Structure 1
Amino acid sequence: MIARIVPVLFAFGANLGDRGETIRAAQRELAAVPGVSAFRASPLRETIALTTHGPDPDAPRYLNGVALAETTLEPHALLDAMQRIEASHGRVRDVHWGDRTLDIDLVLYGGRAIADDRLTVPHPRAHERDFVLSPWLDLDPDAVLMGHGRVAELLARIGDTTRRIDEAGDARF
């Protein structure tokens, strides 16, 4: 049986510790997961912390980025790998939208819509998040978010408050 190759989009965020190194290490680890290939990460962007009460200028700022890849893994197996990587970097889930050492979201899994108690894809708030849309455009200026339209138009609608961090460009693993 030949495994089906599915394009995926991941989003990464961190606002505690060495944010950039944590995100890049997690990306290297995710790129090395058997069944994940063609991993390409965006430049990182800094943003204000977003909490359940809205933006919090007093909280530590986030670094965010996205990565495009291909996988032969089923969605929940991919989610399990993502959560193992988060845990290995000290991720705890005690406060909803709280400060974190690492957050990895599965934004898209091919053209599939998934909604269960563990996973919702496409990510239900990606269309509202400049820290997802802006780095995504860095990788793919023609990107389209399933169910919402062109990423460039979505970002123009909500505005871009992110600040690009100087790095050597996108990262390929």
Structure 2
Amino acid sequence: MNLTDEQVLADTRRWIEKAVIGLNLCPFARAVYVKNQVRIVVSHARHLDAFLDELDAELTLLKDTPAEEVDTTLLVHPSLFPDFMVFNDFLNVVDDVVAEHGLEGVIQVASFHPQFQFEGVEADDISNATNRAPFPILHLLREDSVERAIESDAGDAEKIVDRNIATLRELGAEGWKRLLD
């Protein structure tokens, strides 16, 4: 299926607005989103090398741009990673790229995928939805923004994770599906 950039952006924004912000899955998303500090980039890379070039460019842009202008970036690829395990394995390379840029401790990468599955968790467990998105996404986050979000949410990242899982369990698989339709 060939989606236009407008469709990919609309689906990504709907996921951000209804799930990430609407369910408060990320405690700092609303503030940066309403200030237009979230950069969403749709990749057209036809192979991993080209996608890595785009990752390089986005890491450099974040490093060189004040957070007030761009606080976080979503690098979205609607078709390059149909298989979650391939995407998951690719994250090791992503970590290496962050290190090559000297950005360890400055930028962290969160991953999202339509078939995201935590290790040791059944594929149909609703807790996986905390990291499910309409498309494979690399979310490039500034560490200091993450730290501020954790501090503003009672200082315990584990509370955020537990709250998200509780929210999704209450919503259920059908509720999750309706939310994004």
TM-score (norm 2): 0.32
- Select the structure that is richer in strand: 1
Query: Which of the two has higher C-alpha Rg?
Result: 2
TM-score (norm 1): 0.33
- Select the structure that is richer in helix: 2
The structure, 1 or 2, with the larger RCO (C-alpha pairs under 8 Å, 6+ apart) is 1
